[in-house]
Amino acid sequence: MTAPDTLAAVPPRAALPAWRSLLEERWQQRLNALTELALAYHDAQESFGDGLAGTADTARPQRLLRQATAARRALGDTEEALARLSAGSFGRCEQCAGAIAATELLAEPETRYCTECVAGSWVALAG
C-alpha cells in the first residue's frame, strides 16, 4: 500500500536501515582516510623540521593538509546525511523539498539537493 502523502519518507521507510548501514560504512571509510592523512601530515611535518627539507618534497605537508581538510569536510557531509536520516529528511532536497532521485543518492548519498536545484544554482552562477 502506497500512501498518497507527498511528504512521506524518501526513500521509503523500509529502505532506511540499508541507507543507514551504507552511510555508516562510508563514515568509517572517511574517518580512516582522515586519520591516515592526519598521520601522514604529522610525519611530513616532522621530516620537514628535521632539516630534511632539502631532499624532501617541500610541498608535501601543504598538500596533505589540503587533502586532510577535504577529508574532514567529506566526513562532515556523511555525518549530516546520517543526521538527516534520523530526522526523516534524508533523500529530500533542502531547497525545494522535492525527492532526490535514487540514482543520485546511490552515486552520492550525501547529496542535499535535487538535480533541478543543482542545475539551477549553476545557471545562477553562470549568469
Q: Which residues bind Zn ion (CB under 5 A)?
A: 93, 95-96, 98, 114, 117
Q: How far is the CB of 94 from Zn ion (least distance, A)?
A: 8
CA 75 to chain centre: 6
Nearest residue (CB) to Zn ion, 23 versus 93: 93
Q: Which is nearer to Zn ion, 69 or 121 (CB)?
A: 121
The nearest distance, CB 46 to Zn ion, in angstroms, is 47
- Shorter beta-carbon distance to Zn ion: residue 39 or 119: 119
Q: How far is the CB of 117 from Zn ion (least distance, A)?
A: 3
CB 85 within 8 Å of CB 20:
yes
Closest approach, Cβ 99 to Zn ion, in A, equals 9
Residues pairing with 99 in the sheet: 92
When the beta carbons of 88 and 120 are compared against Zn ion, the nearer one is 120
- Here the cell at position 28 is 568509517
Burial 1-25 (b: 16+ CB within 10 A, else e): eeeeeeeebbbeeeebeebeeebee
Residue whose cell numbers read 543543482? 118
